[in-house]
Structure 1
Amino acid sequence: MFLEIPDLLSAAEVARLVEIARTRPFIDGRVTNPHSKVKANLQLEYGDPAYAESSRLMAQALQRSETFRNATFPKVMAPPMLTRYRHGHAYGLHSDAAFMPIGERPLRSDLSCTIFVSGSEAYEGGDLTVQLGAQRVRLRGAAGSAVVYPSDTLHEVTPVTAGERVVGLTFIESRIADATRRGLLHELNEVAALEGLSMDWDNFSRLQHVQMGLLRMWADPN
């Protein structure tokens, strides 16, 4: 599943994140993946008070997005982290770790999310590309937008050749672990949302019965 959310952040939220990125200290991004030979970027320092503020701001934006909630069925979400790519920075082809030490227990990374803080006009290069078989999907969003994609796909950030790329990153453990089931239920929910009120009420009730039955069968309530 690939999900694009055009207006996740408000203009004020984008401006605040840009200000944090401009004024607060960043450290070598390899601190979260010290053995990587392909990661070259910077990330906001954990101990800085602005880290908690920026993470909370991005998390709240995702949590209030009905589009995000309906597609991902979020159970646990890693605190979003601001990262910076300057000239020459890149993140070579990789897939995200299956489990991440977040909170009281490891988070299973079902979905990854990139939140675009810099507008695409602010930098050259720096494309998020996801490999699908022999093809690569190029993802490059406007400031305030976000994209969600499967964590187990091979993906990369191509080298930045000019300007600066600032994005937020987070990982989501879904209540529906199986990607096929998650996608089917999302499609069914979309049809119900778009067409349900124009249906005969008895048929709409039957559709809702199927939706809730599948959710009970497939979702982890804990």
Structure 2
Amino acid sequence: MLLTIADVLPQAELEEIRAMLAAMRFEDGRASAGWSAKLVKDNEQAREGAALSLLRERVTKAILENEVFSLAVRPKALTPLIFSRYGQGKHYGTHVDNPIMDGIRTDVSFTLFLADPETYDGGELVIETMAGEEEVKLPAGHLVAYASTTLHRVAPVTRGERLVAVGWAQSYVRDGAKRELLFDLETARRNLFAQSGKTPEFDLLAKTGANLFRMWAEV
């Protein structure tokens, strides 16, 4: 599933986060890449320190509290967020994410866009799917989540600066198709409740969704 989620961060908070990042030191992004990804990675990322730890905690909290993210990803754990910037000419060539990061199995990758799209050209996240390439460039504060198993790249930035937070989630439900089924069931259950309230049909959907999650969850 490739899923975009709007307004994970509100505008006022985005401005504060951008100001915090502007005051931080950045380093070569290849420091966090696997041996083959180092060959195609050309960006910068915020350097470790107390300020970065506080920013990670703040943004991670907003992501985990987002209801759509929670229902679609079923996160068991997240890796520490990486705050990356791409100036003019910077890019990240085709790669697949490492299967294990910081002791966490990477089931779902996600990018939270922090720069307004009109402030830079290029910099699209390009994800390879069975239907072809999907280009993603979202408004600031919006997030895209997608399977960590996919090949993907970041197109070169030709003007301005691309600023993002990226991370990976281990899900309670390893299989992406099963996560999608659970998400669809929960969406249908909530829509039914909005239309008709708590009906026998609602209860049956609730039972089915809960029992499937119980069956598939890895704890």
Common topology (TM > 0.5): yes
Q: State the Cα distance separating 1:133 from its structure 2 match.
A: 3.1
Letter matched to residue 124 of structure 1: D
Q: Which runs of 5+ in 1 are unaligned?
A: none
Do residues 87 (structure 1) and 95 (structure 2) align? no
Q: 2:150 aligns with which of 149, 153, 174?
A: 153
What are the superposed Cα offsets for residues 125-152 of structure 1, whole Å, 9 maximum, x if unpaired? 1110101136110100101111111111
Summarize the alignment of residues 1-222 of structure 1 with structure 2, pairs less than 5 Å apart. 1-33=1-33, 35=35, 36-47=38-49, 49-101=50-102, 106-133=103-130, 135-197=132-194, 198=196, 201-220=199-218, 222=219
Quick one: distance in 1 between partners of 2:20 and 2:147?
28
Q: Which moved more, 1:202-211 or 1:84-93?
A: 202-211
Aligned length: 216
Q: State whether residues 89 and 159 of structure 1, in contact with CA within 8 Å, keep that contact through their aligned partners in structure 2.
A: yes
Assess, with a 3 A threshold, how the Cα gap between structure 1 residues 113 and 34 changes in structure 2: closer, same or farther: closer
Assess, with a 3 A threshold, how the Cα gap between structure 1 residues 38 and 134 changes in structure 2: closer, same or farther: farther
What are the superposed Cα offsets for residues 56-105 of structure 1, whole Å, 9 maximum, x if unpaired? 1210111111011011100001121211100111000011011112xxxx
Give the CA RMSD over aligned residues: 1.3
Assess, with a 3 A threshold, how the Cα gap between structure 1 residues 200 and 42 changes in structure 2: closer, same or farther: closer
Letter matched to residue 47 of structure 2: E
TM-score (ref. length: structure 1): 0.93
- Counterpart of 2:158 in 1: which secondary structure? strand
Percent of paired sites with the same residue: 34
Q: Which runs of 5+ in 2 are unaligned?
A: none
